Chains A and B, each alone.
Chain A
Amino acid sequence: MSQNENTTTTTDEGGTDPQTDDEKLISTDVTTGEESARAAATSRTMVEARGVDVYYGDLQALDDVSLEIPEGKVTAMIGPSGCGKSTFLRCINRMNDLVDSARVEGDLLLKGKNVYDDDVDPVALRRQVGMVFQEPNPFPKSIYDNVAYGRRIQGLEGDMDEEVEKALRRAALWDEVNDQLDKSGLDLSGGQQQRLCIARAIAVDPEVILMDEPASALDPIATSKIEDLIEELAEDYTVVIVTHNMQQAARISDQTAVFLTGGELVEFDDTQKIFENPEHDRVEDYITGKFG
């Protein structure tokens, strides 16, 4: 364990007593209570946030966020830039631990286990929660080594060639690269690089895949391939995607969370409901482009 990862502490404030949590949920103006109960009826909750606050130094990036992300669905986070949606994503796999000044308060549960408990190793957590970043960031290694990276560092058993092929097929990249696995990952096009990064993430078979604006650096054709891929991935994985592109969220997600300025989660509901009949005027203004 490094010092860095120790410096981020979790306060137990309001986290130990479930009742206060429920009160909190109801007391906020977020309409998650009733709606997510409906979601929970159809599938189990994978990630659950209870009153999460995040600070970077003195700056508050997330303000009392509570929501439940269902298993096996695509959940989108939308909102104007600087609204904290990426920050929330990075809380789930504790990437914020790598930022010295970041401080997380509240509870964040993965399958019921608080990932900010003292006995949770962020390294072990990240092995369950894969992540795909905004800019495609393949390692300057061969395509094969990129996909094999996670399995190697995690010391996973199994036939590596098979696993690499499986992951590349799953990421819809196999047909394009199967004869050039020795080529550097950097020689691929942007869209291929991003699918390589997705292959890299699913090669270790995580529970959740976090995607931080995965298509924002890509052209429309590459973007649509990524979108198709995300919908397919939802069959096996829980996908949480941050996007600034509302149409994209509408196209691919089952659930949508709308963050507005100040790190506040304003509305979280079925995607259809958010885009057709949002509860809050501010959300409607945002969706219709009057603001943000």
Chain B
Amino acid sequence: MSNEPADMDLTGDRGSQTVREGIYHLVFFICAAVSVLTTIGIVLSLAGPAFGLFGGSGFFQDVSLSEFLLSTDFSPAIKPTVFGVLPLVFGTLLITVGAAAVALPFGLLTAIYLSEYASSRRRAVLKPLLEVLAGVPTVVYGYFALVYVTPILDAVPGIELGTFNALSASLVMGIMIIPMVSSISEDSMSAVPDSLRNASYGLGSTKFDVSTGVVVPSAASGIASSFILAISRAVGETMIVVVAAGQTARFPGSATELLNSFFQSTQTMTSAIVQLGLSDLAGGTTAYRALFAIGLVLFVMTLVLNLVSDVLVRRYQEDYE
């Protein structure tokens, strides 16, 4: 047992080197902390004016919660002003349903093609092209909907469209979010192990059986996650609606009105925020605070959707990885 004193220094240059490393560590930590500060900033800047957290009157002191949640009227400019969020939520749902009606089936079929049928060469061409769909600025999509899509749809017999309408805005939005659905769905389908496919082929299944009967059900949680993420994106999408869907807050009183609202101008939460923002940004008015109250509802809705989507994604990753 030799216990001679160490003739080397293992303690290092504790002074300057530790300080240096500590500074780098701190600087990088601060960079990472910016993202947390951003979240806190978002929550405070939305909740502050909504509830009057930082002095002054809050939105919910000016307007009762019941009016905000239950009134079917949204008219912030004309007196007497009414701030009911329901018409805006309806408009958001309307646009989202329209967009989902395009994006979900097309996105899912695209994912099946890319994952099960496409040769690697075709996949290499199609995937970047699909990414382009999500890369075009939304204001450009809005312009497409307003200037090109609406006249084309209007020319179809039996469809009477206003200059601003929910239909073309939601169709174009649907095209934009196809890649959201297809990329995550495809990831989850590719994660389905080949052993499952082979088991089914071994039983004499055709490729169609395998794709629809084995791969899609096995990837269900990933596909559901992609759907929810796409819906979240549609809920939060702003410029397409602002440019092409108009600014008339509606709440349908009957089934016919509900159906008709696709062909008319509508207002979503996001476009209401923009409308209020264009009129008043200096603060101090109820309309300004309404901006943040609506923003808060929008933020909570998208956050919940994103969290659900996250949980589902994690489930498929746990299943196969």
Residues of A within 8 A of B (CB): 1-3, 18, 22, 40, 44-45, 48, 68, 109-113, 115, 119-121, 123-125, 128, 207
Contact = CB atoms under 8 A, between A and B. Distances in A.
Interface string B268-306: 000000000000000000000000000000000000000
Nearest to B4: A112
B2 A110 contact: no
Contacts of B7: 111
Contact of B8 (A22, A40, A121, A128): A128
Chain B contact residues, majority secondary structure: loop
Contacts of A109: 3
B318 interface: no
Interface string B1-35: 11111111111111001100110010000000000
Given A113-B10, A121-B11, A1 B5 contact: no
A124 B25 contact: no
Contact of A124 (B1, B5, B10, B22): B10
Contacts of A110: 6, 8, 10
Given A1-B22, A2-B25, A124-B12, A113 B6 contact: yes
Given A1-B18, A1-B21, A121 B6 contact: no
Chain A contact residues, majority secondary structure: mixed
A8 to B, nearest CB: 15
A161 B9 CA distance: 26
B9 A124 contact: yes
Interface residues of B, number: 19
A125 B3 contact: no
B12 A121 contact: yes
Given A1-B18, A1-B22, A2-B21, A119 B11 contact: yes
Contacts of A124: 9-13
B5 A112 contact: yes
A111 B10 CA distance: 11
Contacts of B12: 120-121, 123-124
A109 B4 CA distance: 11
A130 to B, nearest CB: 13
A125 B9 CA distance: 8
Nearest to A124: B12
A18 B1 CA distance: 10
Given A22-B1, A68-B2, A109-B3, 6 more contacts: A1-B21, A112-B2, A113-B6, A121-B11, A124-B10, A124-B11
A186 B3 CA distance: 43
B6 A112 contact: yes
Q: Nearest 3 CB-CB pairs, A to B?
A: A121-B12, A124-B12, A113-B6
A207 B11 contact: no
Given A1-B21, A1-B22, A2-B21, A207 B8 contact: yes
B8 to A, nearest CB: 5
Contacts of B10: 110, 113, 115, 120-121, 124-125, 128
23 contacts: A1-B18, A2-B25, A3-B25, A18-B3, A45-B1, A45-B2, A48-B2, A68-B1, A68-B2, A110-B6, A111-B6, A111-B7, A112-B2, A112-B6, A115-B10, A119-B11, A119-B14, A121-B11, A121-B18, A123-B12, A123-B17, A124-B11, A124-B13
Contacts of B8: 110-111, 113, 128, 207
B1 A40 contact: yes
Contacts of B1: 18, 22, 40, 45, 48, 68
B3 to A, nearest CB: 5
Contacts of A111: 4, 6-8
Interface string B52-95: 00000000000000000000000000000000000000000000
